[in-house]
Amino acid sequence: MQTRRRSWLAEKSGAKLIPVDSEHSAIFQCLQGHNGASVRRLVLTASGGALRDWPAEELREASAEQALAHPNWRMGPKVTIDSATLMNKGLEIIEARWLFGIGVDRIQVVIHRQSIVHAMVQFLDGCVLAQMSRPDMRLPIQYALGYPRRVERMWGELDLASAFTLTFEPPDERRYPCLALAREAARKMGTAPATLNAANEQAVELFLKGKIAFTDIARLVEAALGRHRVVSDPALEDIQKADEEARMEVVEEVRSWTHS
């Protein structure tokens, strides 16, 4: 909802929002010089996280340490767990919807294990533009700071002369249920994304503390969304209330498990 508000204020004032997250920066770069009406879909790439090759039936046994062992990126613990559940991509779908004014059903997620292609834009004629760089947040940050100029690099670059492989595959939403939950919240909008985000933050915190299993994260988020009554055109107070209630419900739900 904060992204929505800022997007609306930018349009009203004529300001330009420069994304810093690597995926949204990639989309922003690919859209330079193109009319938004010519876009068919946006494609966000996901590494799949540290547990991407685990058998689905074993995910419940994953420890926080195992889920934090990201193969490509060095990030904070919360974001790293979100990468393992793909909730990070779900939240990025919601952000992209407001940043670029495109419907949720036209934003696709693909698993890209190498984390070299950060996002792609497919146009109406079938052409696909991709932004590629090493898995390093310094480039999108530098691009945002220097925009519209490109500043000469100050660290290692992607060596296109070396041999490497780029692979893409659809995510298994049975394996990554948080992705479908985020899409549900994105379609409902209103206070639903606030509930989604708060429930996920609380559940991830509990997982990192060893109080719930990895697969309980999606279970708790789904329960919070299912109980939430969406306020369609929320004020700030409605968003804060949704956030607080979702966190409390997650804690109460876990407490009920231990007493059942």
Residue 3 predicted with pLDDT over 50: yes
What pLDDT, in 10s, does the model give residues 172-197? 988 999 999 999 999 999 999 999 99
The residue-averaged pLDDT of 1-7 equals 52
- pLDDT above 60 for 6: no
**In the predicted structure, residue 258 carries a pLDDT above the cut 70:** yes
Q: What is the structure's pLDDT at 52?
A: 95
The pLDDT, as a whole number, for residue 4 is: 55
- At residue 202, the pLDDT reads 98
Kindly report the pTM of this predicted structure.
Answer: 0.92
Asked if the model's pLDDT at residue 199 lies above 80, the reply is yes
Q: How big is the CA angle at 173 (ends 93 and 59), to the nearest 5 degrees?
A: 115
Asked whether the predicted pLDDT for residue 9 surpasses 80, the reply is no
Q: Where are the domains of the chain?
A: 2-250
Say yes or no to pLDDT of 18 above 90: yes
Average pLDDT over residues 220-225: 98
User: What is the per-residue pLDDT across 114-162, written as a single tens digit (0 to 9) for each?
Assistant: 999 999 999 999 999 999 999 999 999 999 999 999 999 877 788 888 8
Q: What is the pLDDT of residues 74-86, one digit of tens each?
A: 889 999 999 999 9
Per-residue pLDDT, 173:
82
Cα distance between residue 24 and residue 41, in whole Å = 13
pLDDT on residue 260: 63
DSSP state letter for 162: S
The proportion of the chain whose per-residue pLDDT surpasses 90, expressed as a percent, equals: 83
The full DSSP string for 143-154 is: HHHHTTSPPPP-
Give the pairing type, strands 39-46 and 107-111. parallel
Residues 239-244 have a mean pLDDT of 98
Cβ–Cβ < 8 Å for 182, 92? no
- Give the pair of three-digit tokens for residue 35: 């009319």
Q: Looking at residue 72, what is its pLDDT? A: 86
The structure tokens listed for 9 are 């204020």
**∠ at Cα 143 (141, 149), nearest 5°?**
150
Long-range residue pairs from 11-20, CB within 8 A, at least 24 positions apart, any chain:
17/99, 18/143, 18/144, 18/147, 19/99, 19/140, 19/144, 20/140, 20/141, 20/144
Residue 1 scores a pLDDT above 60: no
Closest CA to 123 of 43, 37, 39, 42: 39
